[in-house]
Amino acid sequence: MRREFAAEIYKEDIESAIRTPKLGGFQLLELTDYPGQKEAPVGLLDCFWDSKHVISPEAFRRFCNDTVALCSFPKFTWTSGEIFRGKAQLAHYGKQVLRQQRASWSVSDDSGQVLKSGVLRPCSATSGEVADLGEIVFPLSFVRNAMRLKLQIQVHGIAIENRWQIWVYPHTLPAIESSNVLVTSKFDEAALARLDTGGNVLLCGAANAQGDYLLKLRFLPVFWSFGMFKKQPGVLGTLCDPSHPALASFPTDMHCNWQWWELMEGTNAFILDDTPLGFRPLIQVIDDFHRNHRLGLVLEAQVGKGKLIATSLPLLEDLTGKPVTGQLYQSLLRYASSKNFNPRQRLSVETLRNLTSASA
């Protein structure tokens, strides 16, 4: 899943370079896996220049080409109470002068339904110019439930288009009937008592927690190789099942993407090395293979007679200005209070004490 994540980061880096007027060029230090330094499995292609099927040539050319449609916007995550504003541009480094090129934009949901659209002003561009196509503005008040949107700009007549994903969350989250769930930041006697009587518990971590069973996270992945740069804190993204009912209210791919920045930057993951063989968290963090911890952001388990869902993320702290965190919390709480909450794996009280003692 690191490769899909890497493709998204390459796109952002390349677009940042291309939007610089009179750019002299840029260098990508290997798009292939490179065995010349013992290891560098960093490529979108393998060491024989064969595709890993991470991204197609057509998709790569959308943001890395002689002429590229661009859109600059301040963030990837929004709320329904905001107005999206983005600056549309056309970066041109081809030989021919472009004259009065017309372009349009559209916003669609995951099903492909177009929700908003508009026409951009015509523009001309000489080689080396980043021409202005105008501003894209639309209110997000139509969003009722958390959703991912696809913004697309299409330049007519020269078959140039580009796409971006943004995530929009309700400005105000609806209340959830969750009286059957004990929500807590401590694995204490109250939590054990609820589990002993067959109850449900949602256990959330703390942002400043430290301990032997917690690993500090960064959003961006390991640079090049953990074997060469051992002091870096990075991991390689996340892995989850988007169709799992615990994530029913949280739009995500099976791999990490830009909305995960708010969740992962400066937080912690559980180190699950001492859990039973085969135990898998609901949201797994992929470690570099040199260290190779089994890591998790969210897990569920039967504990005694009860059922527990636990996260290392600080979901119970002040969520002001954190729409992604609030949405994940609501999705987990809705799941923990539902009939779908039925963990198949089991963890002991001792294991959970070790995992959560630092944040208790």
Task: Please indicate whether the domains covering 2-169 and 181-359 agree at the CATH topology level.
Answer: no
Rounded distance between C-alpha atoms, residue 87 and residue 74, angstroms: 10
**pLDDT by residue (tens digit) across 303-327?**
999 999 999 999 998 889 999 999 9
Record the pTM: 0.93
Q: What architecture is the 2-169 domain classified under in CATH? A: Sandwich (2.60)
Domain boundaries, the chain: 2-169, 181-359
Nearest C-alpha neighbor of 71 from the set 92, 91, 89, 59: 89
**pLDDT by residue (tens digit) across 116-143?**
999 999 999 999 999 999 999 999 999 9
Half-sphere exposure of 298 (CA within 13 A, CB side): 25
Rounded distance between C-alpha atoms, residue 1 and residue 216, angstroms: 20
Looking at every residue in the chain, the average pLDDT score rounds to 92
The gap from C-alpha 214 to its chain's centroid, in whole angstroms, comes to 21
Nearest C-alpha neighbor of 298 from the set 259, 335, 337: 335
pLDDT at 207: 63
CATH class of 181-359: alpha beta
pLDDT at 2: 60
Ranking 28-42, 95-109, 247-261 by mean pLDDT, the lowest is: 28-42
**pLDDT by residue (tens digit) across 79-117?**
999 999 999 999 999 999 999 999 999 999 999 999 999
More confident residue, 234 or 324: 324
